[in-house]
Amino acid sequence: DAGVIQSPRHEVTEMGQEVTLRCKPISGHNSLFWYRQTMMRGLELLIYFNNNVPIDDSGMPEDRFSAKMPNASFSTLKIQPSEPRDSAVYFCASTRTGASEAFFGQGTRLTVV
Amino acid sequence: QKEVEQNSGPLSVPEGAIASLNCTYSDRGSQSFFWYRQYSGKSPELIMSIYSNGDKEDGRFTAQLNKASQYVSLLIRDSQPSDSATYLCAVNRSGGYNKLIFGAGTRLAVHP
């Protein structure tokens, strides 16, 4: 099992540009989470999906953020337009229904300059 | 009030001592509780899960849960320098779907 796979690992972009982060969950896992981690705010839950359906997006900070899960093996988190305060590490995690233990990808370190 | 609260530390303990990490949560209906370890620059990794009141032991780690007090703790016996990391408490809120909420984490430093 390859684990949760995120891409890219690092992203540096200019303010105002669109950024797309990608995640492939563990096969057979049907819950997927997007988190953002900063020194100031810790690990914040942005949105989570169950069976490809967004269940709770109350953590998405602004309309500039959007997330999709078109199928069971792929999800994207998009920021448009990006701002310097979006700089953080973004993690994707997945789990199985009935099991609460979540497994994390390696994260994407986003820097917006 | 934050949903999951932890002392940010750093908690400094000598090698071989017991490290005690604490966590409180606000949702009384929470059902599942987890401790994750995160090394600097790495992703969180699950080290313990606990679902019922009492203690659960796994090697040098013991998780303790008290739902009445809404309190979770992690004890690390015989602490090693390799245990130096940030420890994140996570709570699965009630409501039917998995919704994992994390505390800000406690940084542990084990010195030789």
Identify which of B34, B97, B104 has the shortest CB distance to residue A42. B104
Q: Which residue of A has its CA nearest to B6?
A: A42
Q: Which residue of B has its CA nearest to A53?
A: B97
| A45 to B103: CB separation less than 8 angstroms, yes or no | no
The pLDDT value given to residue A10: 97
Least Cα distance to B5 among B103, B90, B87 occurs for B103
| Nearest-CA distance A17 → chain B (Å) | 25
For residue A106, give the 3-state DSSP assignment.
coil
Contact residues on chain A for B32, CB-CB shorter than 8 A:
100
Task: Give me B15's structure tokens.
Answer: 């090698």
pLDDT digits (tens, 9 = 90+) for A36-95: 999 888 999 999 999 999 999 999 988 999 999 999 999 999 999 999 999 999 999 999
pLDDT of A33 > 90? The answer is yes
The stretches in chain B having pLDDT less than 70 are 1, 94-96
| B105 to A50: CB separation less than 8 angstroms, yes or no | no
Q: Are A32 and A93 in contact (CB under 8 A)?
A: yes
Q: Give the B window 47-76 contacts with A, CB below 8 Å.
A: 49
A22 vs A8: CA distance, rounded Å? 7
**Residue B35 in contact with partner chain A when CB distance is under 8 A:** no
Instruction: Name beta bridge partners: B36.
Output: B46, B88
Identify which of A45, A97, A105 has the shortest CB distance to residue B101. A45
pLDDT of A97 > 80? The answer is no
